[in-house]
């Protein structure tokens, strides 16, 4: 697939969307692709899939780091069939298409390795996609909130924590801050999933102690500090990303009114996040409009019963001095 105006073909990634929240799934896919190529763009959308073209492909595995999306692969062309040397099997609803795909691969001298985890998918439109990653919830059972030695109710599941990290563009060695660290769920995923350099702030000793237990249980190295998110002990422009699940309702021990708490926090976040970097928060407020930040995206995410939580992607309005 080649875009108009391109001097050469680009690699096209195919993301199978999570249709429980299609727009959020697309936002994650585009964020991952842009980690590899800032000029990544959607070139085709379907009900179940989105196609994103990128140019910087071979040296970048971040595009496959899905959390909310179902699976991701490479749209195959005559020019990139070499990637099929580790293919495991061909998936198709049609036996005829499957046989035809296998025959074509054999003609290309492709080795089908049954021990590999990579899959070739062929659609009814005769598209061939090398699937590089399939999300499996079972992979993260050991980091589920109920499996942590330091347990608190309402903690984010690993999949949602990873989604927030992806939306924030957290890459390896990014300096990451969670100013409402709780028992450390986001920081654990920040280190083990995104390979970031994490820092957490927690106000209450009993919660902080649970975060410490979780940190050592998972052999993590992120830093934990007893402190207040409305008085962050860091220099200006210290962090590449801020990701947090903001306190709310019965899940919080905060005594301040939430509007006041959030206003104070966002003022501090503006000071410590680097220009052009992101603050991604999950919150109950559907009308959040923090000063100092531009809202780049807002997504509702059903939690349970009558509760819908909201994910905001915020970008600092301050300019990067040259």
What does the alpha-carbon distance between residue 85 and residue 299 come to, in Å, rounded to a whole number?
Answer: 39
Task: Name the pTM for this structure.
Answer: 0.88
The pLDDT score that the predictor gives to residue 171 is 97
- Residue the block writes with tokens 């905060």: 254
Three-class SS state of 228: coil
183 Cβ contact list (under 8 Å, min separation 6): 145, 148, 150, 151, 152, 155, 207, 210, 211, 214
Give dist(CA 312, CA 297) in Å, integer.
6
Q: pLDDT by residue for the chain (322 residues), tens digit each? A: 444 334 446 889 999 999 999 999 999 999 999 999 999 999 999 999 999 999 876 668 899 999 999 999 988 775 565 555 556 567 776 777 777 777 777 776 666 665 555 677 777 777 778 888 888 888 889 999 999 999 998 899 999 999 999 999 999 999 999 999 999 999 999 999 999 999 999 999 999 999 999 999 999 999 999 999 999 999 999 999 999 999 976 545 554 578 899 999 999 999 999 999 999 999 999 999 998 999 999 999 988 777 899 999 999 887 765 4
DSSP secondary structure string for all residues of 168-183: TT--TT-EEEETT-TT
Quick one: pLDDT at residue 210?
97
Domains of the chain: 11-134 (3.30.2130.30), 139-316 (3.40.50.150)
Sheet-wide strand order for 239-245: 223-226, 197-202, 175-178, 239-245, 273-283, 307-316, 293-304
| Model pLDDT, residue 255 | 46
- Looking at residue 57, what is its pLDDT? 66
Q: Are 176 and 199 in contact (CB under 8 A)?
A: yes
Q: What's the pLDDT at 59?
A: 66
Q: pLDDT value at position 100?
A: 75
Would you state the pLDDT for residue 69? 97
What token pair was written down for 167? 């939306």
Residue 162 confidence (pLDDT): 98
38: closest CA among 55, 59, 23, 25?
55
Q: Are 298 and 307 in contact (CB under 8 A)?
A: no
Q: How far apart are CA 267 and CA 229, in angstroms?
A: 10
- Alpha-helix runs per DSSP H in the chain: 22-36, 95-107, 158-167, 185-192, 205-217, 258-272
């Amino acid at each position: 697939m080649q875009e108009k105006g391109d001097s050469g073909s680009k690699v096209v990634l195919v993301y199978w969307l999570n249709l429980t929240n299609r727009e959020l799934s697309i936002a994650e896919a585009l964020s991952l692709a842009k980690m590899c190529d800032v000029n990544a763009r959607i070139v085709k959308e379907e009900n179940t899939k989105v196609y994103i073209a990128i140019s910087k492909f071979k040296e970048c595995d971040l595009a496959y780091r899905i959390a909310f999306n179902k699976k991701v692969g490479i749209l195959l062309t005559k020019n990139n069939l070499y990637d099929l040397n580790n293919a495991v099997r061909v998936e198709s609803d049609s036996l005829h298409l499957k046989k035809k795909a296998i025959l074509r691969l054999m003609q290309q001298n492709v080795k089908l390795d049954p021990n590999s985890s990579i899959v070739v998918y062929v659609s009814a439109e005769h598209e061939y996609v090398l699937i590089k990653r399939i999300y499996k919830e079972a992979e993260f059972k050991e980091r589920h909130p109920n499996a942590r030695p330091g347990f608190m109710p309402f903690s984010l599941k690993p999949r949602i924590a990873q989604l927030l990290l992806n939306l924030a563009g957290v890459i390896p060695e990014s300096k990451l801050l969670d100013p409402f660290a709780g028992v450390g769920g986001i920081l654990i995923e920040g280190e083990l999933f995104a390979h970031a350099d994490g820092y957490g702030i927690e106000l209450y000793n009993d919660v902080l102690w649970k975060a410490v237990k979780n940190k050592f249980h998972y052999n993590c190295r992120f830093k934990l500090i007893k402190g207040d998110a409305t008085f962050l002990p860091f220099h200006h422009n210290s962090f590449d990303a801020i990701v947090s699940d903001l306190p709310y309702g019965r899940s919080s021990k905060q005594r301040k009114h939430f509007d006041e708490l959030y206003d104070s926090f966002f003022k501090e976040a503006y000071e410590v996040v680097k220009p052009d970097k992101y603050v991604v928060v999950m919150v109950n407020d559907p009308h959040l409009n923090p000063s100092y930040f531009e809202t780049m995206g807002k997504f509702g995410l059903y939690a349970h019963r009558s509760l819908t939580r909201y994910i905001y992607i915020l970008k600092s309005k301050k300019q990067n001095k040259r």
